[in-house]
């Protein structure tokens, strides 16, 4: 059966044939939407600005975001642990210097020949200062108002772990050190120096392990960031091209709609299609 009217023409949808301006409006709206999407990508630097842009990509990106957040927290914990270790080592370094000086005084005090009473008292005071220094460090050394050497401080980051001991004079065995027995005093101070050196060695090993963990975390963070970037970041040349194309289509559609009264339905439908 042959078409009985122009609206039943086989070569175009009746709705477009009867009102070709509708097709122009739809084409213009589509071009505008494309341009808005392209501009959004260019403005935000992200090609996924809503779930509908790439559902699978969004899921993957959110999973990577979670990993990045965990790595950032781990990095902060590692930096804090290293800061605590450095603070503890600094306090023990000062104590070690005092112990070394006290031992030298104990050795010097053993040679009393020609030594005045004032010199002997000075050596006695220097030796006694070792016990005082140990007690002072044990009582006052802290990090963020937290005591370091009360026997309760434990620093841990992943597999690296460090427990700081008490360093009171009684713990070091120098609470009764005296130049009255210089050889014994020197031996007691030697033992204390060795104990402090051992603790400092453990701190140094912890700092090395913590630094290695920090480097590994930094590499992992960089790799995950790159993976997320490949999923989320805008491809600027492509987005710019999409924007240009949409802009051109907008201009064409506006021109066609403006002159639709002067263009025949068949011609306008062909141009818009």
The string of pLDDT tens digits covering residues 193-211 is 999 999 999 999 999 999 9
Taking only the tens place, the pLDDT of each residue in 33-83 is: 666 766 676 677 677 777 777 788 888 888 999 999 999 998 888 899 999
The alpha helices in 110-152, defined as continuous H runs, are 117-140
Categorise residue 3: left if φ over 0, alpha if ψ from -120 to 50, beta otherwise: beta
Q: pTM of this prediction? A: 0.68
Q: Which of 5, 65, 19, 14 is nearest to 232 (CA)?
A: 65
Contacts of 192 (CB under 8 A, 6+ apart): 99, 130, 134, 172, 173, 174
- The whole-number average pLDDT for the span 95-122 is 86
How many of the other CB atoms lie within 10 Å of CB of 106? Answer: 27
3-state helix, strand and coil shares in percent for the chain, rounded to the nearest 5 = 75, 5, 20
SS3 track for 152-200: CCEEEECCEEEECCCCCHHHHCCCCCCCCCHHHHHHHHHHHHHHHHHHH
pLDDT-derived band at 270 (thresholds 50, 70, 90) equals low
pLDDT reported for residue 249 = 64
- Cβ atoms of 75 and 218 closer than 8 Å: yes
CB-CB contact of 18 with 7 (8 Å): yes
Quote the CA–CA distance of 249 and 245 in Å, as a whole number: 6
Least confident of 35-39, 71-75, 186-190, 265-269: 265-269
Per-residue model confidence (pLDDT) at position 91: 96
């Amino acid at each position: 059966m042959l078409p009985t009217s122009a609206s039943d023409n086989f070569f175009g949808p009746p709705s477009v044939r009867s009102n070709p301006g509708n097709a122009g409006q739809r084409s213009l709206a589509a071009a505008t939407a494309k341009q808005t999407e392209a501009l959004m990508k260019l403005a935000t630097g992200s090609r996924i600005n809503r779930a509908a842009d790439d559902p699978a990509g969004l899921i993957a990106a959110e999973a990577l975001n979670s990993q990045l957040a965990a790595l950032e927290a781990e990095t902060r914990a590692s930096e804090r642990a290293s800061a605590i270790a450095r603070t503890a080592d600094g306090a023990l370094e000062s104590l070690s210097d005092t112990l070394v000086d006290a031992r030298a005084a104990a050795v010097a005090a053993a040679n009393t020949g020609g030594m005045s009473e004032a010199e002997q008292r000075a050596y006695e005071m220097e030796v006694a200062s070792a016990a005082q220094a140990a007690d002072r460090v044990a009582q006052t050394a802290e990090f963020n108002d937290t005591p370091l050497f009360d026997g309760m401080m434990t620093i841990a980051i992943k597999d690296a772990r460090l427990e700081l001991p008490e360093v009171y004079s009684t713990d070091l065995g120098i609470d009764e050190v005296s130049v009255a027995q210089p050889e014994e005093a020197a031996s007691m101070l030697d033992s204390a120096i060795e104990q402090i050196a051992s603790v400092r060695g453990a701190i140094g090993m912890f700092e090395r392990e913590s630094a290695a963990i920090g480097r590994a975390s930094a590499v992992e963070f960089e790799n995950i960031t790159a993976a997320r970037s490949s999923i989320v970041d805008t491809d600027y040349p492509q987005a710019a091209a999409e924007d240009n194309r949409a802009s051109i289509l907008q201009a064409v559609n506006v021109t066609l709609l403006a002159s639709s009264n002067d263009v025949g339905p068949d011609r306008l439908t062909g141009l818009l299609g």
